[in-house]
Amino acid sequence: MSTTESGLPIEPVYGSEALDGWPAEERLGEPGGYPFTRGVYPTMYTGRPWTMRQYAGFGTAAESNRRYHQLVEAGTGGLSVAFDLPTQMGYDSDAPVAAGEVGKVGVAIDSIEDMRVLFDGIPLGEVSTSMTINAPASLLLLLYQLVGQEQGVDGTRLTGTIQNDVLKEYIARGTYIYPPAESLRLTSDIFGYCRRELPRWNTISISGYHMAEAGATPVQEVAFTLANAREYVRAALSAGLDVDEFAPRLSFFFVSRTTLLEEVAKFRAARRIWARVMRDEFGATNPKSQMLRFHTQTAGVQLTAQQPEVNMVRVAVQALAAVLGGTQSLHTNSYDEAIALPTEKAARLALRTQQVLAYETDVTRTVDPFAGSYAVESLTDELEAAAVELMTRVEDMGGAVAAIERGFQKDQIEHSAYDVAKQIDGGERTVVGVNRYVTNDDEPYEPLRVDPAIEEAQADRLTALRSARDGDTVGRALDELRAAAAGTDNVLVPMRAALAGRATVGEVCDALREVWGTYAPPAGF
């Protein structure tokens, strides 16, 4: 008998007996109704397709701005910003630790001046923007709000998402700054601030994607993501927020792999689990608080540098799985991303893949096409049961943060990654072009590269900014931020004042580092 990525059995044939157990209305419901197994909206894509995003950002703000205009002209429905590593870690481009990394994996943003350039000519009142940023998410959101105000766009009109999921950084990715408790404090402050200032903004995108890219199985991806989500809800409740005030703005972020059937089941199971957690555990009564709305990105870890054109097929299958699973927005990877930053042609083709699915196939003509499939319904039930069991193990340890401190999630994911690597190396798992159907005649490929002169140019911009601004005003604003961080006031208010006065990302993060300290993982973690 074969098994899924999560080790669940796949039967050669399924019949109606696979669906015995609990009533269909409790398991499925109707589209747009509890427990949202069949989708969070009654009409899903029959009214309009998902939001088509393309993750982009590299080099300078000016270069990234040009790419955004190209994507908008190509028909993308929403922007998705990639930030470079120094920005993700809260360092300015001229910090010694940033050397060699400026503009490499995303765009360098050091101050409001960079943010203005990044969105020059982009109507922020009309475009939805997703920003993949975690530890310094509050800063980038405030810079976006300030630039929107300069465009004449009130915060009530701004729409988009900040990832803001720092717990998964301790598990799988490592771009954390502050200790977990202080990180959760900052997340709660963002929830409270956005409730007043940016009511249409999705304040967090709780991410399983990066855990999956690190090796998590679909069951682990769902279980650890929803366990983290529980922790964020508890933190917000502890800060005095009402569940039905902040929960409707929670969103999620998952991977979509080439294993189409299990991926569809995964998305359906995740919706059902979260609906029950929110209703039965946290007492949410607003249906929007019970909905698991999510963005999907196709699986970067499954892209290969060998025979990169084959990645076009992989991405198409992964995108189809996300659509059949009911995603709200989707990013399709470019076929050349295993080699370097995507070229303009490859990024356009990735977007065209989504457009073909939306406008040339019939998958948007009916809601939840796999509903009632013996195989998918059975896989959905089994995946849900396995994920709930793993979530219970995390709860028994005291919750996600306590489990993180013990290294539980990281250890589980690393074991899964090791098993997959062994299967590929041993030939038990086929990767086309890598361990089967290998050729030695790949055509030469000229990747897009980042000019190393960008680092010097960003440093020059920072020098000019610091000499031109009012240093006393910035100093006072940073002092007010430190005081708020040491107390209980919402830190985003003085943070916004500091950024408006042209404090840099690094200076603001350093002010919080002085008060909160930085996180150092336990020995052996």
Report pLDDT digits (tens) over 147-198.
999 999 999 999 999 999 999 999 998 999 999 999 999 999 999 999 999 9
- Using alpha carbons, select from 52, 67, 103, 75 the residue that is nearest to residue 298: 52
d(CA 31, CA 367): 7
Least confident segment among 48-57, 172-181, 240-249, 369-378: 48-57
What's the pLDDT score for residue 525?
47
Query: pLDDT confidence of 495, banded at 50, 70, 90?
Result: very high
Residue 318 inside a domain? The answer is: yes
Q: What is the pLDDT of residues 330-359, one digit of tens each?
A: 999 999 989 877 888 998 999 999 999 999
Q: Is the pLDDT of residue 238 over 60?
A: yes
Q: What is the mean pLDDT of residues 65-85?
A: 87
Is the pLDDT at 464 greater than 60? The verdict is: yes
* pLDDT > 90? residue 70: no
Identify whether 251 is part of a domain: yes
- Read off the pLDDT of each residue in 214-240 and give the average, rounded to a whole number: 96
Tell whether 514 is covered by a domain.
no
Instruction: Return the biggest CA–CA distance within the chain.
Output: 74
Residue 444 has pLDDT above 90, yes or no: no
pLDDT at 233: 96
What's the distance, Cα to Cα, between the start and end of the chain in Å? 36
**What percent of the chain shows pLDDT beyond 70?**
95
- Phi, psi torsion values for 72, nearest 5 degrees: -60, -45
Compute the distance between CA of residue 401 and CA of residue 397 in angstroms, rounded to an integer.
Answer: 9
For residue 202, list its beta bridge partners. Answer: 161
Tokens of 137: 């998410």
Angle between helices 180-197 and 137-150 (to 10 degrees): 20
Kindly report, residue by residue over 395-423, the tens digit of the pLDDT: 999 999 999 989 999 999 999 999 999 99
Show the domain range for 154. Answer: 2-34+47-426
Q: Is residue 524 part of a domain?
A: no
Q: Respond yes or no on whether the N-terminal peptide bond of residue 287 is cis (omega within 30° of 0).
A: no
Q: What is the 3-state secondary structure (H, E, C) of 334-372?
A: CCCCCCCECCHHHHHHHHHHHHHHHHHCCCCCCCCCCCC
pTM of this prediction? 0.89
> Is 501 a domain residue?
no
Q: How many domains does the chain have?
A: 1
pLDDT at 23: 60
Residue 94 lies in a domain: yes
Q: By C-alpha distance, which of 69, 43, 44 is closest to 56?
A: 69
The answer to whether residue 375 sits within a structural domain is yes
Whole-number Å distance between alpha carbons of 274 and 339 = 37
Domain CATH number, residue 145: 3.20.20.240
Per-residue pLDDT at 441 exceeds 90: no
Torsion, CA 94, CA 99, CA 104, CA 108, rounded to 10: -10
Residue 431 lies in a domain: no
